[in-house]
Amino acid sequence: MKYLLSFLILVLFSFNSKPLLSEYNGNKSSVSIDTLFTDKISIRAIEIDKNKVWYAADKNRFGYVDLLTNKRVERKISIDTLKLEFRSIAQTKKDIYILSVGNPALLFKINKQDLSYRLVYRENHEKVFYDAIHFIDNRKGIAIGDPTEDTFSIITTIDGGSTWNKISNSSLPKLAIGEAAFAASNTNICVKRNRIFLVSGGIKSRLFVSDDFCKTWQVFETPIIQGQSMTGIFSADFLNEKTGIIVGGNYESQFDNKANKAITFDGGQTWKLIGVKQGFGYASCVQFVPDSNGKSIMSVGTTGIYSSNNQGENWNKLSDDKDTFTIRFQNSNTAILAGKNKLVRMKF
């Protein structure tokens, strides 16, 4: 089956261009791993658009790599004398959107063809800090940020990203003091059809669900470790409107794996802890492998790169690499990983 190929890396895993030979249940398969580029860079947000991987990074940078030619194209955004770090990225058919963390929050719309950009949203506040952005379709988009008052900061667009508006606090569910989100891998937001999933962390770690584009919300508790400022959900992925996985942990106790991963089969109303006291500790990103019917999963974080082929009950360690922050799949046979100083492709 196609999804089994994603978990053939049961021996040596290294970021180079050598073809590796791995074995799974007696079946051998070639796995090639190549570094698309290395640089002094931090990348926590990537988007795959056909044969291009777009990235948002630190030091005012964004760019893409052409997966057919391995050509890298990069630009710097210049606005006043601001030093910007972009941890959020999203796309529509024609444009890329990148959103900075910290004050001021700046959201740029970038033309995919000529890489021209313009500022489409700015927010100044001492507490402003946006964590993730996602488009539902080519018209509707949403970004989530930490609270400046007592709710998430949420901005939305309905015109393809040309204009953005902040949702009133009175229309959003209240957060606990010390509850926020983490800008770890641009995976605080998941969208399936018209259902929006948001996850929080910190003192409380919950799931927020809207079926009407942020007009009303359901809020569900999770069993993920919580109660401190650096605990909770750091990443989520949903296969469909019902099946989803959340991961995270305690950033200040990174090998703690007692209650850092959970799965739901009813849209987040109930959760089951998985991989208890085994597998990875703190994780910054999790993704279902395409075409695996939700059976196969990969995660990255400071305790390594891991895979599961039984919905997270058991995990195989693929690498000790602690500097990969985010992962996305181009298809069931190709994954792109990014993090500290690198962008890497794995082909099965």
Q: Which pTM does this prediction carry?
A: 0.91
Count the neighbouring beta carbons within 10 Å of the beta carbon of residue 290: 17
pLDDT at residue 102 tops 50: yes
Q: Over the stretch 171-206, which tens digit does the pLDDT of each residue have?
A: 999 999 999 999 999 999 999 999 999 999 999 999
Percentage of the chain lying above the pLDDT 70 cut: 91
Count the neighbouring beta carbons within 10 Å of the beta carbon of residue 337: 27
What average pLDDT does range 212-234 have in this prediction?
98
Give the closest residue to 201 by CA, choosing from 251, 160, 245: 251
What average pLDDT does range 218-243 have in this prediction?
98
Q: 31 pLDDT band (50/70/90 cuts)?
A: low
Q: Over the stretch 41-96, which tens digit does the pLDDT of each residue have?
A: 999 999 999 999 999 999 999 999 999 999 999 999 999 999 999 999 999 999 99
pLDDT at residue 257 tops 90: yes
Tokens of 248: 């995270």
Beta bridge partners of 162: none
**pLDDT in the model for residue 326:** 98
Q: 21 pLDDT band (50/70/90 cuts)?
A: very low
pLDDT at residue 11 tops 50: no
Q: Over the stretch 115-167, which tens digit does the pLDDT of each residue have?
A: 999 999 999 999 999 999 999 999 999 999 999 999 999 999 999 999 999 99
Q: 33 pLDDT band (50/70/90 cuts)?
A: confident
More confident residue, 300 or 24: 300
Give every CB contact of residue 84 below 8 A, 6+ residues apart in sequence: 59, 60, 77, 100, 106
Tell me which DSSP letter residue 16 carries.
Answer: S
Is 289 strand, coil or helix? coil
pLDDT at residue 268 tops 80: yes
Q: Say if residues 14 and 33 touch (Cβ distance below 8 Å).
A: yes
What average pLDDT does range 316-336 have in this prediction?
94
Q: 341 pLDDT band (50/70/90 cuts)?
A: very high
Count the neighbouring beta carbons within 10 Å of the beta carbon of residue 9: 23
List the strands of the sheet with 189-192, edge to edge. 189-192, 195-199, 206-210, 218-221
Give every CB contact of residue 137 below 8 A, 6+ residues apart in sequence: none
Give the closest residue to 323 by CA, choosing from 34, 42, 46, 85: 42
For the chain, the distance separating the N- and C-terminal CA atoms, rounded to the nearest angstrom, is 13
